[in-house]
Chains A and B, each alone.
Chain A
Amino acid sequence: MTASRPVVVIVDDDPGMVRAMARMVELAGYAPVVFASAESMLESAPGVIDCVIADVHLPGIDGIELAGRLEDSVPVILVSASEEAESRVRAMPGPPRVFLPKPFPAQSLLETLSRMIGGADGGEAAVRRRYS
């Protein structure tokens, strides 16, 4: 059932990339919610978030700043097509964040998601996290 699917928020200003990631996530059984900017996500985020996938280079508030504003318990996967973004992600304070360089195979993303929040069936390790 849809209601039980883990919610994966995707934030990327590239519309083509957002749609592709949403399809990957949906295919794996998660419920994708997409935003084109960190500001719009912060403004109208869903009540429950299981994971956030954000592009590092976002206009305005970037992916790194967005991750910093989220509770530490919310898993964040940061993605970027630029190489230097990885070192910025590694240098972030707080809990370690996962970085995926674009372009990445769907399997990498889905394995990472599965590792972070458990399977899409909401099974063993899936813990619903609330963004406030």
Chain B
Amino acid sequence: MLPGPARGLRLAVLVFLGYYAGARLGFVLTFLPLPISVLWPPNAIVLGALLLVPVRAWWIVVLAALPAHLLSELHEGIPVAMVLSWYASNMSEALIGAGLVCAFHEGPAALSTLRGMVTFIAAACLAAIASSFLDSALVKVNGWGDVPYWELWRRRVFSNIASSLVIAPLVVAWGRASGPALRKIPVPELVEAALLAAGLVAVVLVGWSVDSTWVAPCAPLPFLLWAALRFGTRGATAAFAGIAVAAIWGAGEGFGAFASGTPLSTTHSVQIFLMSMGSVLLCLAAASEERRGAQQALDVLRYRLNHASRLAVMGEMAASIAHEVSQPLAAILGNVEVAQALLRAGRIDEDKLRPILEDIREDNLRAVDIIRHIRNLARHRPPAIASVDLAEQVRAVLSLGAPLARHRGITLENRCEDRLMVRGDPIHVQQVLANLVLNAMDAMDAALPQDRRLEVEVRQDGAMARVSVRDRGHGIAPSQLEDIFDSFFTTKQEGTGLGLSISRSLVTAQGGRIWAENNPGGGATVTFTVPLAHAAAKAGA
């Protein structure tokens, strides 16, 4: 399917404007009297555009470049045959480059991976080399200028490889970023980008005034690395394009890192600098972006796993939760029926009705509260750090787990210090607690009835709150005290081995830690810490 007419027209206009502006810039970046520009952006712009759009829309890009090409070159007084020949060689370069990249990777995403970027660099080099044979031959056929064939070929290869490395990735990196995504860049990142830009300007103005053959070309390196590692391909390509324009413009004006020597040697110095620096920088930026992408994918996976684990905990407590909801519903039903019976019997009076209605209200609120807790636990939502009343979280988890505990003959003991406010995600705190409580119950499956006691203790410990879940079960083998927090480690028949591992990641993410120890009198205690909301959290306690 072709892109819609509006999108196709927009693409054509952008390519036309980009190509024309690139050609004008190319003329500016030419060291006269040399016939070939240091950097010839139009081909690279077309290459970038081809990589941005699906193959079925390539014809729009190629056609849109034609009027821009004619407009820019005929204006310079070049014969029509030569202008059309250059159009053919320019398009052949872009098509070969984009075709090679697309043969191995999928469009713009290619430049986000190291492998894709290496493919792109190789494709850009091969395309420049191959198309330069055609280009030089056409120049000779048209009898344009007197530069020998191989010299022409060599100059064009250098110029076009440098152009492809500077311009095409810039077009791809910025072209694929959606408008809303760019508008959503956080302020600290914008400030950092501004500092980076200021650093690059300072390097150009100060670093390049140093009279040294190696200090000046190396001076921007730290800033380019900064751009690549912190801002990926978008940052690296923008910074590198800025440095490229400054280097060429400076060389033309007799200022900067490459200003000495003849126009030809200066051109070669700048091009070799751009090619070598560009290759390294682009690979580094792609590797950094790939790592960041992998990290993001891992974060999403971890988030989903957390949610799945929470649902698993709820699944284990399902019977208990159903019991907790049924209790107030049963009381409401009983009270309503009593009120109806009183009405039928004509024995209703305000004194009898008021406590019945009050009980119905209270039980209703209790059911709503339980449902709210369950909904919160089940909800898919990003972590939200807030000031959390720890005792409330403990009460919520123990109340959901109470029927299960009773069924297993386990007495739950809540030894919570009140008014202990911590900084964390309330749902994550409940998830960790529920995990520990369920584990502690499981550990007491074989315990004697009188030993079936589960104690949750919360107390302040310096700037942290300590939450301990103590059981009187079979304890933990000393060699496994650390292992139990590893992923997929389980001693249960039907355990996934993820509960404690996820608990540890949740606790660590909130700035706390978690550990297990055996009790002197039998059983085990798992303790985790959460930072207090503020030092004066216990004010009044």
* Interface pair B406/A103, CB less than 8 Å apart: no
Question: Distance in Å from the Cβ of B316 to the closest Cβ of chain A?
Answer: 14
Known: A19-B359, A24-B338, A57-B406. A82 touches B330 (CB 8 A): no
* Interface pair A20/B359, CB less than 8 Å apart: yes
Q: Is A104 an interface residue (CB 8 A)?
A: yes
Report the bound CA distance from A58 to B337 in whole Å.
25
* Interface pair B363/A16, CB less than 8 Å apart: yes
What is the total number of residues of chain A having a CB less than 8 Å from a CB of chain B? Answer: 26
Q: Is B319 an interface residue (CB 8 A)?
A: yes
Write out the residue numbers on chain B whose beta carbons fall within 8 Å of the beta carbon of A107: 337
Main secondary structure on B side of the interface with A: helix
* Interface pair B407/A14, CB less than 8 Å apart: no
Could you list 7 further interchain pairs (A-B, Cβ under 8 angstroms) beyond the known A19-B331, A82-B403? A16-B359, A17-B331, A57-B407, A82-B320, A84-B407, A102-B329, A103-B334
* Interface pair A62/B327, CB less than 8 Å apart: no
* Interface pair B338/A23, CB less than 8 Å apart: yes
Tell me which of B326, B334, B342, B355 has the highest count of chain A C-beta atoms within 10 A of its own C-beta: B334
* Interface pair A20/B406, CB less than 8 Å apart: no
Report the bound CA distance from A104 to B362 in whole Å.
19
Report the bound CA distance from A23 to B331 in whole Å.
10
Report the bound CA distance from A20 to B341 in whole Å.
13
Write out the residue numbers on chain A whose beta carbons fall within 8 Å of the beta carbon of B18: none
Write out the residue numbers on chain B whose beta carbons fall within 8 Å of the beta carbon of A59: 406, 411
Closest to B342 in A: A27
What residues make up the interface of B, taking CB atoms closer than 8 Å to A? 319-320, 322-324, 326-335, 337-338, 341-342, 355-356, 359, 362-363, 366, 403, 406-407, 409, 411
Known: A16-B366, A106-B337, A106-B338. A81 touches B406 (CB 8 A): no
Report the bound CA distance from A117 to B292 in whole Å.
74
* Interface pair B327/A81, CB less than 8 Å apart: yes
Write out the residue numbers on chain B whose beta carbons fall within 8 Å of the beta carbon of A19: 331, 335, 355, 359
Known: A19-B359, A102-B326. A62 touches B338 (CB 8 A): no
* Interface pair A24/B334, CB less than 8 Å apart: yes
Write out the residue numbers on chain B whose beta carbons fall within 8 Å of the beta carbon of A102: 326-327, 329-330
Question: Distance in Å from the Cβ of B137 to the closest Cβ of chain A?
Answer: 86
Interface residues of A in 38-85 (CB under 8 A from B): 57-60, 62, 80-85
Q: Is A105 an interface residue (CB 8 A)?
A: yes
Known: A21-B334, A27-B342. A16 touches B406 (CB 8 A): no
Question: Distance in Å from the Cβ of A30 to the closest Cβ of chain B?
Answer: 13
* Interface pair A82/B338, CB less than 8 Å apart: no
* Interface pair B327/A106, CB less than 8 Å apart: no
Question: Distance in Å from the Cβ of B452 to the closest Cβ of chain A?
Answer: 11
Write out the residue numbers on chain A whose beta carbons fall within 8 Å of the beta carbon of B359: 16, 19-20
Report the bound CA distance from A106 to B337 in whole Å.
6
Tell me which of A24, A57, A62, A105 has the highest count of chain B C-beta atoms within 10 A of its own C-beta: A57
* Interface pair B409/A16, CB less than 8 Å apart: no
A-B interface, 10 closest residue pairs, ranked by CB to CB distance from nearest: A20-B334, A103-B330, A81-B326, A102-B330, A106-B337, A16-B331, A57-B406, A20-B331, A23-B338, A81-B323
Known: A81-B330, A82-B322, A102-B326. A23 touches B407 (CB 8 A): no
Known: A81-B326, A103-B326. A27 touches B338 (CB 8 A): yes
Tell me which of A20, A57, A106 has the highest count of chain B C-beta atoms within 10 A of its own C-beta: A20
Write out the residue numbers on chain A whose beta carbons fall within 8 Å of the beta carbon of B363: 16
Which of B333, B342, B362, B406 makes the CB contact (< 8 A) with A58?
A: B406
Known: A16-B327, A16-B328. A27 touches B333 (CB 8 A): no
Known: A24-B338, A59-B411, A106-B338. A17 touches B330 (CB 8 A): yes
Closest to A63 in B: B406
* Interface pair B330/A27, CB less than 8 Å apart: no
Write out the residue numbers on chain A whose beta carbons fall within 8 Å of the beta carbon of B407: 57, 82, 84-85
* Interface pair A20/B338, CB less than 8 Å apart: yes
Binary flags per residue of A19-40, CB closer than 8 Å to B gives 1, else 0:
1110110010000000000000
Closest to B363 in A: A16
Report the bound CA distance from A24 to B327 in whole Å.
16
Write out the residue numbers on chain A whose beta carbons fall within 8 Å of the beta carbon of B326: 81-82, 102-103
* Interface pair B406/A62, CB less than 8 Å apart: yes
Mind listing 11 A-B residue pairs with CB under 8 Å?
A16-B362, A16-B366, A19-B335, A20-B332, A27-B338, A57-B406, A57-B407, A81-B323, A83-B322, A85-B407, A102-B327
